Structure 1
């Protein structure tokens, strides 16, 4: 199990997929997520890209001291991993909280970014468009999916739940992510993004309203917008083939 030790004692678990001679892409999962959340996407993406996937500190197999963090903390973890792998510039593909980390990295270190995919995310809670989505109290995970998909594919949802529950759980790590997100805002800086950007979102996202995608696309210069129909917050699980095709097309057109 590959890992990178950070100066504060955190240990970042990561996986590499595909030919390292190919163009690199970093997958940044959402809050409380982990590498298996990308298991439906990595096989396709790695046919053309060198895929770098990792667990945020305090999530999955990554360890971290229970200490305050900021969005900069997560950006520095990603940069340290790129340095460890001797990757100068990479495509960044961030989903939900991972999209916020990717956005902050692109704003503060654009020289390390080939292109940016901001998926199912927002520019910070102070300017986020609230979601009206609700899930049954006894099945809160259903809020991750579009209602139509969950109704039509219960076996898919059950498998995701089984895989997710099999991973290490770190409530304190998620709490630190939540605190970092609450203190972060990029709304006023969105026009400063200078790398090719794709904004990707599920049309039926019950956690992060799809209006946030339109907001990001409107404020980021030259950004492209792609909405995945029949998908929710975990669009990359629900409609993996469609999402992968959209991302691959974008990356091919913006090799960096």
Structure 2
């Protein structure tokens, strides 16, 4: 385990694979930590350098006082990659991680050579929706939202398996301030205009049973970037890297190969 001291936040990160390989950076969804990618990494090509991190307020990273802004989350990723000396990475972002990916690519194209926008959008939900969730967290904690979140995250079939408890526990054990702070960041984000100005290889990934960012929403965002690709994973919800890591890894490997990263 490693901690990067970045002024107002301490970010927990992990590096796997070839330390001299081409970098692939992973950014997690709201309510998860870097273990989100555990099942995918062993299925990816050898010779790559895999960098994962817990965003502020999640996992083993510190939780500065909420609320957060998307600008702060993008800056955290930027400072971490600068700290690690990373350039020209493929940045894989899921949900809020995909929003961070869009913002980072707009701000620092020297850091990002290609994007994977997974189960995400340029704009997710409405401010009123997020305000309601934040109020519920402050009143009754993350536990009060957990069952509803599981329905949006996973297919009905997956929710019948014992593994669901692992992900529910991961969610409810995140710091409430961190979850609420990142919810506020999503609430205030609309990247339609800046994302439409991006010109870099982009792959969109969606789950056909995603209750948070449905496939049409993901596709709408990805198509803002000319020449982008789109891959639908069937039988999966908001976290297809958990429900179908094999299909997810195949799509990602194909994209890494086509972009010359492997």
Q: TM-score, normalised by structure 1?
A: 0.88
For the residue of structure 1 that corresponds to 2:61, the secondary structure is: coil
2:164 is aligned with 1:157 = yes
For the residue of structure 2 that corresponds to 1:110, the secondary structure is: coil
- 1:62-91 Cα deviation digits (max 9, x unpaired): 003214421111111111111121112211
Q: Distance in 1 between matches of 2:34 and 2:194?
A: 29
Q: Distance in 1 between matches of 2:205 and 2:70?
A: 21
Corresponding residue number in structure 2 for 1:106: 105
1:138–1:38 distance in 2 versus 1, CA, 3 Å: closer
Corresponding residue number in structure 1 for 2:137: none
- 1:10-41 Cα deviation digits (max 9, x unpaired): 11000000111111011000112101111111
Corresponding residue number in structure 2 for 1:249: 254
Corresponding residue number in structure 2 for 1:235: 240
Corresponding residue number in structure 1 for 2:86: 87
Question: How far off is 1:47 after superposition?
Answer: 2.8
Corresponding residue number in structure 2 for 1:2: 2
Out of 208, 213, 217, the position equivalent to 1:212 is 217
Q: How does 1:24-63 map to 2 (within 5 A)?
A: 24-45=23-44, 47-63=46-62
- 8 Å contact kept, 1:31–1:177: yes
The farther-off stretch of 61-70 and 94-103 is: 61-70
For the residue of structure 2 that corresponds to 1:111, the secondary structure is: coil
Q: Tell me the number of residue pairs that the alignment of Structure 1 and Structure 2 aligns.
A: 245
2:150 is aligned with 1:145 = no
The farther-off stretch of 72-81 and 43-52 is: 43-52
Corresponding residue number in structure 2 for 1:133: none
- 8 Å contact kept, 2:23–2:89: yes
- 8 Å contact kept, 2:45–2:253: no
Question: How far off is 1:122 after superposition?
Answer: 1.0
The farther-off stretch of 55-64 and 136-145 is: 136-145
Q: How does 1:181-200 map to 2 (within 5 A)?
A: 181-200=186-205
The farther-off stretch of 46-55 and 197-206 is: 46-55
Question: How far off is 1:45 after superposition?
Answer: 3.0
- 8 Å contact kept, 2:28–2:96: yes
For the residue of structure 1 that corresponds to 2:152, the secondary structure is: helix
Q: Distance in 2 between matches of 1:72 and 1:159?
A: 31
Q: Distance in 1 between matches of 2:75 and 2:27?
A: 13
Q: Distance in 2 between matches of 1:32 and 1:159?
A: 12
